[in-house]
């Protein structure tokens, strides 16, 4: 029996956390895993913090992830990644989008906090999404980076995307996912970033 893999996806309302969670979990089902997903709807969707928890393996009981046990935290921006930091297990990996946080409340105030985690991968999700022509696709770049980290092949996910993403958005979003998976410069270990 393989142990469960636990993932937290965190962002703010309207940035596609729920969409990406849906693709991820449907793809995992297609791959034959037992899957549980926890989301909270309602009040939390009015522009505030939004997160989802996804767990997969041979047999999953709890839809909630215990503190200190998440294998991956996917932060759609730096603030939301840090909010869930204590859920990461010691050997777990943070995947953080380098989002443009220019509001004074956030700017330049939280970057240093990532040094405490053993494994951090910075992803230029926002920049890459812009290059593909749609800033809103940063969520798919992040999904791509996660799938890459999990060691999955692109093919399954292409068909999952085709099934669950509306036709008119498919091309852009699949491209963003692919760039998230494949591009070397996307994944930079934290040490390199601090040298920049």
Partner 1 sequence: MKALMMGNEAIARGAYEANCKIISSYPGTPSTEIVESISVYEGVYAEWAPNEKVALEVAAGACIAGIRSLTTMKHVGVNVAADPLFNMTYEGVNAGLVIVSADDPGIHSSQNEQDNRIYASHAKMPLLEPTSSQECKDMIVEAYEISERFNTPVLFRTTTRVSHSKGIVHFQEDLAVEEKFRTYKKNKLDRLLLPAISRKRHLEIEANLLDIQAYSNSYPLNVIEYSSPEIGIVTSGISYQYVKEVFGDTVSVLKLGMSYPFPDEKAKEFAAWAKTIYVVEEGEPFIETSLKAMGIACTGKEIIPVCGELNPEIIRKAITREEFDCYEGVQVPPRPPRLCAGCGYLGLYSAVKQHRDIIAAGDIGCYTLGGTEPIKALDTVLCMGASISMATGMQRTQDFKPMGKKVFAFIGDSTFFHSGMTGLLNAVYNKTPIVICILDNRSTSMTGNQENPGTGRTLQGSTSEVIRIEDIVLALGIKPDNLRILDPTNLQETQQCVDTAKHSTEPFVIISRHPCELLKSKAEPTKKYIIDNVTCVNCKKCTMLGCSAIKIVDRQIMIDPLDCKGCSICQQVCPYDSIKEA
Gap between the Cα atoms of 89 and 63, Å rounded = 17
For residue 117, the minimal CB distance to partner 1 (Å) is: 6
Q: What is the CA 180 to chain-centroid distance, rounded?
A: 10
Q: Which of residues 8, 16, 20, 45 is near partner 1 by CB under 8 A? A: 45
- Residue 9 phi, psi dihedral angles, 5° rounding: -110, 125
Gap between the Cα atoms of 77 and 83, Å rounded = 10
Near partner 1 in 137-176, by CB under 8 A: none
Interface stretch with partner 1, choices 36-44, 125-133, 142-150, 182-190 (CB under 8 A): 36-44
Near partner 1 in 95-114, by CB under 8 A: 102-107, 110, 113
| Cα-trace Rg, the chain | 16
Q: Which is nearer to partner 1, 169 or 183 (CB)?
A: 169
Near partner 1 in 66-95, by CB under 8 A: 66-69, 79-80, 82-83, 85-90
Q: Which of residues 64, 115, 182, 192 is near partner 1 by CB under 8 A? A: 64
**Rounded (10°) CA dihedral 128, 130, 133, 135:** 110
Gap between the Cα atoms of 38 and 53, Å rounded = 5
For residue 24, the minimal CB distance to partner 1 (Å) is: 11
Q: What is the three-class DSSP state of 58?
A: coil
Which residues are near partner 1 by CB under 8 A? 12-13, 25-26, 29, 34-49, 60-64, 66-69, 79-80, 82-83, 85-90, 102-107, 110, 113, 116-117
């Amino acid at each position: 029996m393989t142990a469960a893999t636990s993932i937290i996806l965190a962002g703010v309302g309207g940035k596609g956390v729920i969409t990406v969670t849906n693709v991820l979990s449907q793809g995992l089902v297609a791959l034959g895993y037992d899957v549980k997903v926890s989301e909270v709807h309602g009040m939390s969707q009015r522009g505030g913090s939004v997160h989802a928890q996804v767990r997969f393996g041979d047999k999953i009981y709890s839809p909630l992830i215990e503190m200190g046990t998440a294998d991956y935290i996917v932060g759609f921006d730096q603030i939301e990644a840090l909010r869930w930091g204590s859920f990461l297990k010691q050997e777990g990996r943070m995947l953080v989008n380098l989002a443009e946080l220019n509001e004074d409340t956030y700017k330049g105030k939280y970057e240093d906090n990532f040094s405490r985690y053993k494994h951090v991968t910075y992803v230029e999700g926002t920049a890459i999404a812009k290059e593909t022509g749609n800033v809103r696709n940063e969520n798919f770049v992040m999904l791509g980076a996660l799938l890459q980290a999990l060691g999955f092949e692109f093919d399954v996910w292409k068909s999952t995307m085709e099934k669950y993403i509306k036709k008119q958005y498919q091309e852009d979003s699949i491209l963003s996912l692919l760039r998230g998976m494949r591009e070397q410069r996307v994944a930079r270990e934290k040490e390199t970033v601090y040298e920049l």
